[in-house]
Amino acid sequence: METLFSTEYKWLWVGALGLCLFPFVRKLIWVMTVRNHIRKAGEQNVDDDEKRRLKKRAGFTAFFLCFVFSLVYMNLLFKP
């Protein structure tokens, strides 16, 4: 059990932290972009296709942010 918390398993912890953060960060980014889009374009101009497109975009951004954050955090945590 002690070996799980060594630097050999750093990438496992990066992936685990990234997976845990991803759904929440994606939802947060998606809600913020949809609200911003509604405020700028109006409620009538935001249909389901536009929301789907914004969710894909939020997913890509959330994946990138979660990966970078978890990588930096684990590098600080497993600093020799």
Please report whether residue 25 resides in a domain: yes
Please report whether residue 68 resides in a domain: yes
Give the number of domains in the chain: 1
* Token digits of residue 41: 């374009």
Residue 26 CB partners (closer than 8 Å, separation 6+): 55, 58, 59, 62, 63
| Model pLDDT for residues 32-45, shown as the tens digit of each residue | 999 999 998 888 88
* Token digits of residue 35: 């609200």
Please report whether residue 35 resides in a domain: yes
Please report whether residue 54 resides in a domain: yes
| Model pLDDT for residues 18-69, shown as the tens digit of each residue | 999 999 999 999 999 999 999 988 888 888 899 999 999 999 999 999 999 9
| pTM for the model | 0.85
Please report whether residue 1 resides in a domain: no
- Which domain covers residue 66, as residue numbers? 15-41+50-80
